[in-house]
């Protein structure tokens, strides 16, 4: 598999002084406009290249960032998932009947630190809907009054989302160097940490050359397509699961309660897949194989649903199949963490993220159309579609992991011939991080997955 040819990379040593001269490093955050090739927001009170810090300072800074960033990101991430689970709850409480919907009309960290932190805030995708199921259950008992129960669900989520938007605007900084709750020295250390990881810093310049480079990159296409094929199963567990369970013969209220184990399993699997690569060397750079294993378990759940007869005596088996499917919900977490850790260059990363989110939305639009009302409660067409898509995801994820390992091997081989391309060249990794180099241009970068 061929890779796009990068634009010429600056000669390392000769370019260091030029880069440092072009980066504005002022305490106020205001400085001269820098060259378009350099990150323009590294405004900190100390030079990140010169600052030295102890391991204890590093640990304290990381804890400070964790306590500020992770809870905010976790709440925001979980709430957007509650929005989707609310749609399924509203459907079981009469949204489809009231609206005459029938059939298919319903429709800041280093590479090593990212998996666990990203897992901690995306684990709320599975954990946060659980207490909301209790709220949905209570609202489901509202049978009188001008506002129906399913409308109350959306009003509740809408109010919380609006308040969260204001909260995020006030409390969440857009980059380490703009965090007012960090001291000048802490901001400089935070910038240096990320720069040394060669992940780049926020850059306000949109670079078409990075878009073109991304469009030619097979890594990018593999991950973007992964998002679509993996989220067909995610659409079932969030948007349609309550309806499927209700089709087994349960009441709307019981159907909502029986979706709780689904979200609990999803949260547990997400936390496990995020923690194993962080704490165990054997699983380091094996997030995608772990996601593949979880997806295989999800495939088993789909097969159970597909082959189990609809009679009442098989309700428990079908419910177990629904719960097992939720293990594949970890795919979203893994894909986004892979994008965050491996696509370097501000415009390049935004391009991949936007394209992946677009296909995420497309998957959530298309999948419910395959669950035909006339096939309730077995939904063979929808289950076959999800089974095929999840199988394709397993192939794509495996191919992506293999390609990244092969590319790392090639870069290590080149580094043995040219030591300047070694991943640990002193000073050069920091320079690459301060510049807006992409992972393709920066041959000192190593992929993780």
- Give per-residue pLDDT as tens, 426-447: 444 444 445 567 878 887 788 8
Q: Which of 113-122, 373-382, 414-423 has the highest mean pLDDT?
A: 373-382
The widest CA-to-CA distance across the chain, in whole angstroms, is 77
Q: Is 223 contained in some domain?
A: yes
**Long-range contacts at 158-161 (CB < 8 A, ≥ 24 apart):** 160/79, 160/82, 161/79, 161/80, 161/83
The 10s digit of each residue's pLDDT in 56-111 is 888 888 888 888 888 887 777 667 666 655 555 555 555 555 555 444 333 366 65
The residue ranking higher by pLDDT, 202 or 259, is 259
Q: What is the per-residue DSSP string for 18-71?
A: HHHHHS---TTS--PPPPTTB-S----SS-TTT----HHHHHHHHHHHHHHHHH
287 found inside a domain: yes
Q: What is the pLDDT of residues 358-387, one digit of tens each?
A: 998 888 888 888 888 788 778 899 999 999
pLDDT at site 104: 38
Residue 141, in any domain of the structure:
yes
Residue 103 lies in a domain: yes
Distance CA 27, CA 38 (A): 19
**pLDDT at position 98, please?**
57
* CATH code for the domain of 78: 1.20.1250.20
Least reliable range by pLDDT among 36-40, 147-151, 183-187: 36-40
For residue 270, the enclosing domain spans 12-434
Report if residue 442 sits inside a domain: no
Euclidean distance between CA atoms 305 and 318, whole angstroms? 5
pLDDT at 288: 92
In angstroms, the CA 233 to CA 367 distance is: 8
Let me know if residue 398 belongs to a domain. yes
Is 70 exceeded by the pLDDT of residue 183?
yes
Query: Highest-confidence range of 101-105, 125-129, 177-181, 354-358, by mean pLDDT?
Result: 354-358
How does pLDDT run across 199-208, given as a tens digit for each residue? 555 555 788 8
- pTM here is 0.64
Q: Is residue 108 part of a domain?
A: yes
The dihedral of CA 159, 360, 201, 433: what is its sign? positive
Q: Count how many domains the chain has.
A: 1
Q: Which position has the higher pLDDT, 30 or 223?
A: 223
Is the backbone of residue 112 left (phi > 0), alpha (psi -120 to 50) or beta?
Answer: alpha
Residue 277 domain flag: yes
Among candidate residues 201, 242, 221, 233, the one with its CA nearest the CA of residue 91: 242
DSSP letters for 68-112: HHHHHHHHHHHHHHHHHHHHHHHIIIIIHHHTT--GGG-----TT
């Amino acid at each position: 598999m061929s890779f796009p040819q990068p634009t010429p990379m600056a000669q390392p040593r000769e370019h260091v002084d030029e880069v440092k001269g072009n980066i504005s490093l002022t305490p106020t955050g205001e400085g001269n406009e820098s060259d378009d090739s350099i990150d323009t927001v590294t405004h900190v009170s100390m030079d990140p290249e010169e600052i030295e810090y102890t391991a204890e300072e590093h640990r304290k800074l990381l804890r400070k960032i964790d306590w500020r960033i992770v809870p905010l990101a976790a709440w925001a991430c979980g709430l957007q998932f509650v929005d989707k689970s609310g749609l399924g709850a509203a459907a079981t409480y009469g949204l489809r009947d009231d609206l005459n919907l029938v059939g298919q009309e319903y429709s800041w960290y280093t590479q090593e630190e990212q998996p666990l932190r990203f897992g901690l805030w995306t684990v709320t995708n599975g954990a946060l809907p659980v207490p909301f199921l209790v709220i949905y259950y209570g609202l489901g008992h509202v049978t009188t009054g001008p506002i129906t129960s399913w409308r109350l669900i959306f009003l509740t989520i809408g109010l919380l989302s609006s308040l969260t938007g204001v909260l995020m605007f006030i409390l969440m900084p857009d980059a380490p160097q703009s965090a007012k709750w960090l001291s000048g020295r802490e901001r400089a250390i935070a910038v240096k940490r990320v720069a040394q990881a060669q992940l780049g810093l926020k850059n306000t310049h949109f670079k078409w050359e990075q878009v073109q480079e991304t469009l030619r990159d097979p890594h990018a296409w593999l991950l973007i397509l992964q998002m679509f094929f993996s989220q067909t199963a995610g659409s079932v567990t969030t948007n349609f699961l309550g309806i499927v369970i209700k089709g087994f013969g349960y009441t709307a209220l019981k159907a909502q309660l029986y979706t709780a184990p689904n979200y609990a399993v999803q949260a547990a699997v997400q936390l496990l897949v995020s923690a194993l690569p962080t704490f165990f060397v054997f699983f380091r750079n094996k997030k995608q194989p772990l996601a593949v294993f979880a997806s295989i378990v999800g495939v088993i759940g789909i097969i159970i649903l597909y082959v189990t007869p609809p009679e009442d005596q098989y309700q428990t088996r079908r419910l177990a199949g629904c719960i097992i499917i939720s293990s594949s919900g970890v795919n979203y977490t893994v894909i986004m963490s892979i994008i965050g850790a491996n696509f370097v260059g501000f415009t390049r990363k935004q391009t991949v993220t936007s394209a992946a989110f677009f296909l995420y939305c497309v998957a959530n639009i298309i999948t419910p159309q395959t669950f035909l009302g006339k096939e309730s409660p077995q939904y063979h067409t929808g289950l076959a579609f999800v089974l095929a898509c999840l199988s394709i995801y397993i192939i794509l994820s495996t191919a992506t992991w293999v390609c990244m390992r092969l590319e790392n091997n090639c870069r290590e081989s080149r580094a043995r011939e040219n030591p300047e391309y070694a991943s640990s060249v002193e000073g050069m990794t920091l320079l690459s991080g301060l510049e807006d180099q992409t992972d393709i241009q920066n041959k000192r970068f190593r992929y993780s997955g």
